[in-house]
Copies of this chain bind each other. A is one copy, B any other.
């Protein structure tokens, strides 16, 4: 039995990817249950079964969730809060853990806003059925929210002089840095032109994004088929009409 069982949709990076990155970077012993074949107890069926299992003390509302030490833990930031010190991806003291978690929750808020750019009306509707509203939301997101969040995180790096402005929290790579790496990768995929315009304003974030893949286990993961490419079904989607216009 693996130490950790991750339950998440098998075909999108989605919110599960933030947990995957921490597990992979730490070289943790884990199974990505829904990506295993059904005859090995995997697939979406296994995910749905675990989500509804009456044996769990608290059922999750939605994936991702993690099984560890007989407990089922849901909510991405809550899972990372649990895993952080166990995987050596967060300092062990309460105050650092609280600050890491605060940053992760701010990342979570940002992610929700990014997702809702292409889904402003309802998660149950296709993008194509809310494109008009998305096209109204996108320029406001790009001119107001994107720079606001990025400037905030840049400032957090800037103020962490003890870590040479290379880490969002503490003096070593944490799960927050890994999440920021993925967030920037996702934004580059979804809004390449808007992100190019932001680049000069966020040198420390860009440096973090460039530096992280030098970590051997992370590099191996990113090059493996375990890393699901961004696509048109997750949080980060590339709809060119939602990005800033091409310079004419």
- Which A residues form the contact surface with B (CB < 8 A)? 54, 57-61, 71, 73-75, 77-78, 81-82, 95, 98-99, 101-103, 105-106, 109, 112, 116, 120-122, 124-125, 133, 136-137, 140-141, 144-145, 149, 152, 155-156, 159, 169
Asked whether A75 and B106 contact (CB < 8 A) given A59-B156, A124-B140, the answer is yes
Residue of B71, B106, B121 touching A136 (CB-CB under 8 A): B121
**What's the least CB distance linking A124 to chain B, in Å?**
6
Contact residues in B for A106 (Cβ distance below 8 Å):
61, 74-75
Cα–Cα distance between A106 and B76 once the two chains are bound (Å):
11
Cα–Cα distance between A99 and B74 once the two chains are bound (Å):
8
Cα–Cα distance between A78 and B98 once the two chains are bound (Å):
7
Contact A102 B74 (CB under 8 A): yes
> How many monomers of this protein are in the complex?
2
Contact residues in B for A155 (Cβ distance below 8 Å):
59
Contact residues in B for A141 (Cβ distance below 8 Å):
122
Contact A102 B156 (CB under 8 A): no
**What's the least CB distance linking A174 to chain B, in Å?**
13
**What's the least CB distance linking A84 to chain B, in Å?**
13
Cα–Cα distance between A155 and B155 once the two chains are bound (Å):
42
Contact A124 B144 (CB under 8 A): yes
Between-chain CB contacts (< 8 Å), 12 pairs: A58-B169, A59-B159, A60-B102, A71-B98, A73-B98, A75-B102, A75-B106, A81-B101, A82-B98, A109-B112, A120-B121, A133-B136
**What's the least CB distance linking A125 to chain B, in Å?**
7
**What's the least CB distance linking A83 to chain B, in Å?**
12
Cα–Cα distance between A109 and B115 once the two chains are bound (Å):
13
Residue of B57, B133, B159 touching A120 (CB-CB under 8 A): B133
Minimal Cβ-Cβ distance residue in B for A149: B61
Contact residues in B for A133 (Cβ distance below 8 Å):
120-121, 133, 136
**What's the least CB distance linking A15 to chain B, in Å?**
11
Contact A58 B120 (CB under 8 A): no
